[in-house]
Amino acid sequence: MSEDNPVVSEGKVVVFHYTVSDEDGEVIESSKEIGQPMPYLYGTGHIVPGLEKALDGRSAGDEFEVEVSPADGYGERDKGAPSTVSRDQFPDHVDLHEGMHFTAEGEGGHEIPLWITGIDGDEITVDPNHPLAGETLNFDVEVLNVRDANDEEIEHGHAHGPDGKSGH
């Protein structure tokens, strides 16, 4: 392992472009559409496990595709069935839209992640499953850069932009 060509491992920041598609090849999201590559502090578990594993040991210039099963992605649709709640369960000032993610407080005060999947007048359909749960995903990845994380990034547990200087 030469320092001229660092490989992805814990404590490195990997900067990469990705396009994620569903089983039918339909593009769900692409960093190229967003207009900037994703900087990621490797090993923090903030990306799906299947992509995390596939990035291990890569270096700048690598391009690869990886198929990620639900188990290595956003999980199965096993968090229960969608339900319908009334609009007045939400704060008035919040502009609700489909795909919106929020957290509800469940019994004993533990937090339940929910996604809005339908809005019909005052009836709001919420789903406890991630919108991509149950989906096999295909990631198309291009590694642009691999570098050491700086102290501040390690302390914060996330990358500060491609160059490590977009801190806060």
Residue 58 or 160: the one with the smaller Cβ distance to Zn ion is 160
Burial of 130 (0-12, 13-18, 19+ CB in 10 A): middle
Measured from the Cβ of residue 146, the count of other Cβ atoms closer than 10 Å reads: 22
130 binds Zn ion (CB under 5 A): no
Residue 14 or 114: the one with the smaller Cβ distance to Zn ion is 14
Q: Using CB atoms, what's the residue nearest to Zn ion? A: 156
150 binds Zn ion (CB under 5 A): no
Q: What angle do CA 151, 157, 161 make, to 5 degrees?
A: 75
Question: Which residues have CB under 8 Å from 4's CB, separation 6+?
Answer: none
154 binds Zn ion (CB under 5 A): no
Residue 11 or 61: the one with the smaller Cβ distance to Zn ion is 11
156 binds Zn ion (CB under 5 A): yes
Task: Confirm if 111 and 104 have CB atoms less than 8 A apart.
Answer: yes
Q: How many residues bind Zn ion (CB under 5 A)?
A: 1
- Which region among 14-22, 58-66, 77-85, 150-158 touches Zn ion (by CB under 5 A)? 150-158
Q: Which residues pair with 68 in a beta bridge?
A: 137
d(CA 33, CA 149): 26
Residue 22 or 163: the one with the smaller Cβ distance to Zn ion is 163
In the complex, the residues that contact Zn ion under the rule CB under 5 A are: 156
